[in-house]
Structure 1
Amino acid sequence: MADNHYDNYLEDLTLSIGKVQLKGFVSKQGIANFLNIPYARVPVRFRTAVPILISAHSRCLDVSRYGPRCPQKADGLQASIAHVFEKTSLSRAPDETNCLHLNIYAPQATTCLNATSNLPVFVWIHGGAFNIGDNSTQFDGNFLVKRSLEIGRPIIIVTINYRLNVFGFLSSRELIEEARGLGEKPISNQGLNDQRIALRWIQSSIHHFGGDGSRITVAGESAGAASVLCHLTGGLPLFQQALLQSPPAPRLRTPQEAQTDFDDLVEHAGIPSHASGTEKLAALRGLTSEQLVEIFDGRLSFPIEDSHWFVGYDRNNQDQSTFWGDIPTWCSRIVFGNTRDEAALLLALSTNLPTREVVEFSCAIMPHIPIPDRIFKEECTRQELVAWSTKEAFINPLLKVVSSAANKGSRVYIYRIDSTDPFPGPLQGFAWHSFGIPLTFYQPPCRVYPELASTQDHMSVAFLDFFHGLKPWEEFNQAQRMIVFKDKSTTMVTIDAAAVKERKKSD
């Protein structure tokens, strides 16, 4: 089993759950690993996933290797951020019908026979613009679980996979009519529904691994954080706390926009527009996943409006923060945070910024935000463009949601990461979007630099305290302050929340 989990295999480990035996392994960190546990299956492309209970498996289930990812375009940013991760993705080849699985990392003692642990559970939903990504090595839970044991705050980590891009966020009249004809409830966002099924699985089954289904913190970064917001509005109490890292400005596609995306897909696939709905779906299902991904071409896959999920959402409301900031009472506490230079990951990798392509991309991710003329005229520096884009696309929307949630009585904590990337390269000196992931998961490459290691230490203590129901730092509600993580120090900084109530007319 030496190929398991790259070079991190130590010894075999079997967990018996009823008549089922899960064949996992113990890592070199002494952590129990159970990888690629199926929580659902996809019966047919674009259809609603069917949950899979542990008891439904055969007597022996090999959960010692990472599972397949959802089909997707290549991630052009992987090479630029690989330096802060022990390993980048080790998922198997894409498989759209078998990509609904989760990984569990637990202290070995909790998986022993007759163990009675009831540890807090940290569930991670990966980001990637709802288009790319998976739940494998970038979110390797071995290092943080080991850290949790070292400081006496033991936890269990679960990372989930879900359908992405055209496989998870395609909706149309044709798909709705098909679902109704089959006696099924139409689902506009299959990817979000996959996540919901996974959360149900965790809530009901994590006790087998030593976890407490009543002490679950769901977290995510970027699109993963946006997903958590969606689950907070979805109405089902499947977790008790939330941690949102670098959430972008919340945005939903209208049903009309979703239909246009479907119609464009049909056209580019060479399917006659006069074909019936059944014929269109059959033709799309007749394509290989590779062909479908190529036709879809990596366009943005924001979730789609759904009155059954996003209850009370009004697209005509100019201030959406009141909707997204309405945190349900079953979520007892919530952490929001961002990095200082979020936009650097997208904008700092070119040596000739700002370029027309970069400006057009800024327009795409911030369609409702006026962009100053000086940026269109390419008169600003790279640092200025990064600062402006970070403020408009991440910080201002985040603070509006935070303020709304706090005003409604939610217990809110907010942080910012000011520690910057010390590794040589185009991202050096920036606290870029996704930089919080290797810090959160205690990734070893960051330990090379003492300042970055200190940031990891401070963040891990605060987050582990939060998972355990303790106070991580001062609540935002008290004095509108946030904690800033920077190298060997942490500082509480006052935020002028009033400054984000109304966006400036110009810069």
Structure 2
Amino acid sequence: MRAPQTPLKNRTAVQTGAGTRICPQGRPKWQAKTLMAIGKYSNPTVPFTLEGWVKDIENGMVPPGDINANATEDCLLLDVHVPKKVLEAARTKNKKSVPVLVFIHGGGGVLGSKDGSGPTLFEPSGILTQARSTFNQDFVFVTLNYRLGAFGWLNSAEVLADGDANAALLDQRFALQWVQDNIHLFGGSKEHVTVMGESGGGSSVLHHLIAAGADRERRGKTCESTKLFQQAISQSPADVPVATGDPDELYDEFLSILKADDLDAARSMSSAAVIAANAAQVAAFPHTNYVHAPIVDSDTSFGPVIKSLQQGKFDKSVKVMAAHNIFEGGFFFDPSVKTDADFDEWLKRSLPGLDEEQRRELAEKVYPPVYDGSLGYVDMNTRQMAVWGESAYDCTFNAISQATKDKSYAYEFGVSPGFHIQDLSYTFGTPATAMRPSQKALQLAIASFVLKGVPVLEGGNEFPIFGDEGLLVNITAAGAVPSVPNNVNQTRCEWWTSIA
């Protein structure tokens, strides 16, 4: 619960990356029950129906096994993937540095690691191969761990009195600074760094973009000495515009589970006990809510995302590419919600930052119980999906795209069904398997943006600028479709922005 520090140097041992070390994890039971459906419908050969999707989630089982089997508090590691030729060239006098892509994983701030998991491993050979085969160029890929759950996000008054806010974001910033200080040893250029993140990682990218803007204001707009990255890719950025939990209540609940009286007592407990308490707290989180979230902190310049973007409080010199999926809210619903009264109770649990008047306006005017499909939902389940998909993901995507519209690029992942995180297996697919048109299009866009600052389509055609028209590229099963209008619901996003 403090900012990370540089470890003591140990010249007697070489860190080979052997073995697996992840930060202590937690997984909400509600999310664990969605994993079977996510795995099933990530396979493009499985036909998708809404009825089958809902049924599979209703009948989902919590996977067996210990999510913390490889967890340790000593987890702040990163991996550097370097093409062989680049590494060999880095050892010569005439070396030429190459661009760098740093990836920040998602997971609701409570789970995930630099390695990925399940069917999606953050294995960059696909996009590295795209760069080499299409442009005859290479780049270095970096992925990192950061503290999760109570370890990274406990932001109570007592913690702030003897610790640091937003420790998880500080871990990420520390890793970005490590890249600045050391990536030249691997052949990478510290002056050509793209930071990319998905979901919670995507919103982290925006926090760092906002912090960079505040830093430039303090130091002078022409100062580049502290710049940690020059480009940013934010995929499905997760930022709920209202509070999902109270920091002091979360802290008190955590101490109660841990059976500790105060912060000093918690710090004296065994690592195993603290890891178990964190996992227990996260497992009990209410349906569709990950609860933990960053707080606004003037010391580290992490501001409220939507408002900061709207007010232009971010580093405008950074080139941006943003993305969202067409069915972001797919697994964010509680199947037990049947009536309007149930819906109101779900809102209280899922979005506790909404007051009574806001809940009433949401239920009666913004997302009224009209199930003919005209409002983008056909029943109570899809109504919930719309609420969470838009509030947390679509509207955040919309905000960064609008804020940077004159020079930013955007795409939507439109491969059916297009649920949240489905795109990761396309971003990180390996060249060992047959490359699907959608996968090739997505990897080409990322590789070209990393290398040139301008994403391209097959045949060398450039992406359209987002601009006033809100143009983006749709990544479909058949490949990329350019110059598609942004179909995010602007009216509902304006409402979410108004209460942020």
For the pair 1:290 / 2:276, whether they are aligned, the reply is: yes
1:434-457 per-position Cα deviation (integer Å, ceiling 9, x unaligned): 112111123469x56x7xx10111
Pairwise CA distance, 1:325 = 5.2
What is the aligned partner in structure 1 of residue 231 from structure 2? 241
What is the aligned partner in structure 2 of residue 494 from structure 1? 485
Pairwise CA distance, 1:192 = 0.8
Pairwise CA distance, 1:142 = 2.4
Does the 8 Å CA contact 1:342/1:433 hold for their aligned counterparts? yes
Structure 1 gaps, min length 5: 1-45, 179-185, 421-429
What is the aligned partner in structure 1 of residue 128 from structure 2? 145
What is the aligned partner in structure 2 of residue 304 from structure 1? 295
Distance in 1, matches of 2:368 and 2:487, equals 27
What is the aligned partner in structure 1 of residue 249 from structure 2? 260
Q: 1:308/1:140 Cα in 2 relative to 1: closer, same or farther (>3 Å)?
A: same
For the pair 1:165 / 2:154, whether they are aligned, the reply is: no
Q: 1:335/1:397 Cα in 2 relative to 1: closer, same or farther (>3 Å)?
A: same
- Matched residue of 1:50: which SS? coil
For the pair 1:65 / 2:18, whether they are aligned, the reply is: yes
Distance in 1, matches of 2:158 and 2:390, equals 39
What is the aligned partner in structure 1 of residue 71 from structure 2? 95
- Of 418, 424, 427, 1:440 maps to 427
- Matched residue of 2:331: which SS? helix
Distance in 1, matches of 2:66 and 2:424, equals 17
Does the 8 Å CA contact 1:217/1:467 hold for their aligned counterparts? yes
Distance in 2, matches of 1:91 and 1:325, equals 40
Q: Taking structure 2 as the reference length, what is the TM-score of the superposition?
A: 0.73
- Of 76, 99, 111, 2:87 maps to 111
1:115-163 per-position Cα deviation (integer Å, ceiling 9, x unaligned): 7241111111000110111111421122322232222242211111000
What is the aligned partner in structure 2 of residue 207 from structure 1? 184
Distance in 2, matches of 1:397 and 1:497, equals 10
What is the aligned partner in structure 2 of residue 270 from structure 1? 259
Aligned pairs for 1:87-486 within 5 A: 93-112=69-88, 113-114=91-92, 116-137=95-116, 138-152=121-135, 153-178=137-162, 186-235=163-212, 237-251=227-241, 257-271=246-260, 278-279=264-265, 281-282=267-268, 287-297=273-283, 299=285, 300-310=291-301, 320=307, 322=309, 326-331=313-318, 333-347=319-333, 364-366=349-351, 367-368=353-354, 370-371=362-363, 372=367, 374=369, 380=379, 382=381, 386-387=385-386, 389-406=388-405, 411-420=407-416, 430-443=417-430, 453-472=436-455, 473-477=463-467, 479-486=469-476
1:395-423 per-position Cα deviation (integer Å, ceiling 9, x unaligned): 234323422333xx6x2111111112xxx
Q: How many residues are matched?
A: 421
State the superposition RMSD in angstroms.
3.8
> Which amino acid in the other structure matches residue 98 of structure 1?
D
Which structure is richer in relative contact order (CA contacts within 8 A, separation 6 or more)? 2
Q: 1:259/1:471 Cα in 2 relative to 1: closer, same or farther (>3 Å)?
A: same
Distance in 1, matches of 2:194 and 2:82, equals 15
Distance in 1, matches of 2:37 and 2:96, equals 40
Pairwise CA distance, 1:202 = 1.1
Q: 1:81/1:61 Cα in 2 relative to 1: closer, same or farther (>3 Å)?
A: farther
1:248-285 per-position Cα deviation (integer Å, ceiling 9, x unaligned): 2344759x9212211222233334xxx56544554587
Q: 1:461/1:131 Cα in 2 relative to 1: closer, same or farther (>3 Å)?
A: same
1:313-334 per-position Cα deviation (integer Å, ceiling 9, x unaligned): 59xxxx7264575331342x11
Does the 8 Å CA contact 2:26/2:67 hold for their aligned counterparts? no
1:37-68 per-position Cα deviation (integer Å, ceiling 9, x unaligned): xxxxxxxxx33321248xx2325414243531
Structure 2 gaps, min length 5: 44-62, 216-226, 286-290, 372-376, 456-462
What is the aligned partner in structure 1 of residue 58 from structure 2? none
Q: 1:464/1:363 Cα in 2 relative to 1: closer, same or farther (>3 Å)?
A: farther
- Matched residue of 1:307: which SS? coil
Does the 8 Å CA contact 2:296/2:302 hold for their aligned counterparts? no
Q: Taking structure 1 as the reference length, what is the TM-score of the superposition?
A: 0.72
Pairwise CA distance, 1:347 = 4.2
Distance in 2, matches of 1:288 and 1:313, equals 29
The structure in which a higher percent of residues are helix is: 2
What is the aligned partner in structure 2 of residue 503 from structure 1? 495
Matched-pair identity in %: 22
